[in-house]
Amino acid sequence: MKPADMPDVTVLGAGIVGICTALSLAEKGLKTRLVDRDAPGQATSYGNAGIISPWSVVPQSMPGLWKKIPGWLLDPLGPVTVKPSHFLRMAPWGVRFLSAGRKGRINAVSDAMELLNRDCVSLFRQHLQGTDREDLIRDSIYVHAFRDGTAANVDSVDYAMRRDRGAPIERIGAADLHDLEPALSPDFRAAILIRDQARALNPGEIGTVLAEKFRRMGGEICRQTVSAIRPSDTGWTYQTEDGEQHSPKLVLSMGVWSARLLEPLGLSIPLEAEKGYHVSFREPGVILNHSVMDMDMKFVASSMADGLRVAGTAEFAGLDAPVNQKRLDGLIKLARNLLPGLSESGIETWSGQRPSLPDSLPCIGKVEGFPGLITAFGHSHYGLMMAPKTGCIVADLVTETAFNTDLSPYSTTRF
């Protein structure tokens, strides 16, 4: 018999994916515990660019991408860097990443991304209902801005992918772009607009608000560091600094730390730590009306409740690598080039680890051979927008609710 103080299910990881999962489980009437070393939603979830888009259906690895990578790596302001000492270690991951971008594979990946992103705006608004903080999500256009107007091609493979899945897409010229976003540099000569999406005005606050809603629904939140998991007579045991804890079912949603917990079970997952950075300008002196991506340098800028944030640069240096100040300095320079009127007073910086799998898809589902263990990690750049649907899927799995969804694209054994 299950002890009275034991939850029905425990979610390890209180990032936005873990929080949305815990909420979905609580909505099904399950006694749910949420465990993380950090305050809910204040680690990797805190630092994203705030994009909430049903149309994030383009894999990170695409045909021909390999031609751009050397130039990116050589450019100190480029969107990606690899620490030399980490290069050989991540080489197998890199090979898988490029393989995932082959022409015959990308449409299947895109379909799997669409399943997780399709309802992200409405599901987030559903989660925020009753919190008095529905204002944290705002309708928005995603502005892809180009300095070279000829590069703004709505018929390219990536925009065709979005359009084929229902995205309303429009190309505009320089005059219309600067009417829409007056603060942008006049160097931008065209843009592609992706409509019918939203943006988060404060991603960290969304985590805090949803965690409080979870508490009000009877959920339990524990600040503990999980160091190991193993099957037991009661279902699952997880080790923390407070000793062994027990739960009939376990949802593993610890982001980049998830793979380490699975290794002792004989499961090898090619999960790479991708260090992300952002810079916030508390008193920017300029406003963006929508989220803007600089398509040349591949970073995003967005006005938020606490100022203007630029984010998107990535560094592959290993899970325990220190913060690279050059990446933060580079973001400041890129922001200055994007927004000539930007005031650089009140700068705050952030860095966190994104859990990246080679095919742009997370691991979601039951783990074969380990009853009661369910995965929900590896969402890379898409954790914020994929979180609500991931939570719905996991809640159905935990409660054995029948649903007509093929989860094989997210299986831990697909590698």
> Does residue 93 sit within a domain?
yes
Dihedral Cα 230, 236, 240, 242, nearest 10 deg: -130
Domain interval for residue 289: 59-102+138-198+272-356
- In tens digits, the chain (415 residues) has pLDDT values of 677 789 999 999 999 999 999 999 999 999 999 999 999 988 887 888 999 999 999 999 999 998 988 898 888 888 899 999 998 999 999 999 999 999 999 999 999 999 999 999 999 999 999 999 999 999 999 999 999 999 999 999 999 999 999 999 999 999 999 999 999 999 999 999 999 999 999 999 999 999 999 999 999 999 999 999 999 998 999 999 999 999 999 999 999 999 999 999 999 999 999 999 999 999 999 999 999 999 999 999 999 999 999 998 889 999 888 999 999 999 999 999 999 999 998 999 999 999 999 999 999 999 999 999 999 999 999 999 999 999 999 999 999 998 889 999 999 999 8
pLDDT tens, 279-326?
Answer: 999 999 999 999 999 999 999 999 999 999 999 888 999 988 899 999
3-state class (DSSP) for residue 205: helix
> Does residue 309 sit within a domain?
yes
Distances (CA, A) of 69 to 354, 379, 389: 19, 22, 32
> Does residue 221 sit within a domain?
no
Count the neighbouring beta carbons within 10 Å of the beta carbon of residue 313: 25
User: At 322, which CATH number?
Assistant: 3.30.9.10
**CA–CA separation, 141 and 51 (whole Å):** 10
How far is C-alpha 390 from the chain's CA centre? 12
Looking at residue 5, its pLDDT comes to 81
**CA–CA separation, 147 and 296 (whole Å):** 7
Count the neighbouring beta carbons within 10 Å of the beta carbon of residue 108: 14
Threshold 0.85, pTM exceeds: yes
Looking at residue 44, its pLDDT comes to 81
> Does residue 91 sit within a domain?
yes
> Does residue 328 sit within a domain?
yes
Counted domains in the chain: 1
Looking at residue 328, its pLDDT comes to 94
**β partners of residue 304:** 307
Looking at residue 1, its pLDDT comes to 62
Looking at residue 18, its pLDDT comes to 97
> Does residue 276 sit within a domain?
yes
**CA–CA separation, 143 and 181 (whole Å):** 9
Looking at residue 320, its pLDDT comes to 87
The DSSP element (H or E) to which 88 belongs, if any, is helix 87-100
> Does residue 33 sit within a domain?
no
How does the average pLDDT of the chain come out, rounded? 95
> Does residue 311 sit within a domain?
yes
